[in-house]
Amino acid sequence: MIGIILYRPEKPANVGNIIRTCMATEAKLYIIGPLSFSLTTKELQRAGMDYIKESDFVIYENYEVFLKDFEDKNIYYVTRYSNNLYSSFDYSRVDEEIYFMFGRESTGIPHDILRKNINKTVRIPMTISARSLNLSNSVAIVLYEALRQRKFYGLATYETIKGENFLEEEVKND
């Protein structure tokens, strides 16, 4: 199981996109509050579409409450301050629970949390003039690396709604 943890996210559209990504990959989403927006916000609903009803997420009141459930979990902390590339860790064991924590759009994960977990911090490489990537894009990048290492276990690797050979059939009928 792969879990995505959002530390006090600020933008409902990002959370909606992340809910959609988690639903599509069977990742579980954990959101640490307090939140500065309502989960019924139009932006969140628009970004998450109808996937919000089918998604699996838990909201924690604050970090202290979250820690009671997660103090012994295998968490990687995604931050620009790390010297470890997100792709340099081995996430390939399908039976292993792993979690990726992402910080607030404006300030990231608090530095005291990062300092306590410095060996489990990871970064996404980017140009030296960039401070950060969009939160929902960052989640997708890191999550799909873990899924790739697990050979996309449990996910469809072909078109399941219109049929596995849908495109080839379209070409034949042209």
DSSP secondary structure, the chain, as one string: -EEEEEES---HHHHHHHHHHHHHHT-EEEEES--SS-TT-HHHHHHHTTHHHH--EEEESSHHHHHHHHTTS-EEEE-TT-SSBGGGS----TTS-EEEEE-BTTTBS-HHHHHHTGGGEEB----TT-----HHHHHHHHHHHHHHHTTTTTS-SS--SS-TTHHHHHHHH-
pLDDT the model gives residue 63: 97
pLDDT the model gives residue 116: 97
- Which parts of the chain have pLDDT scores under 70? 40-56
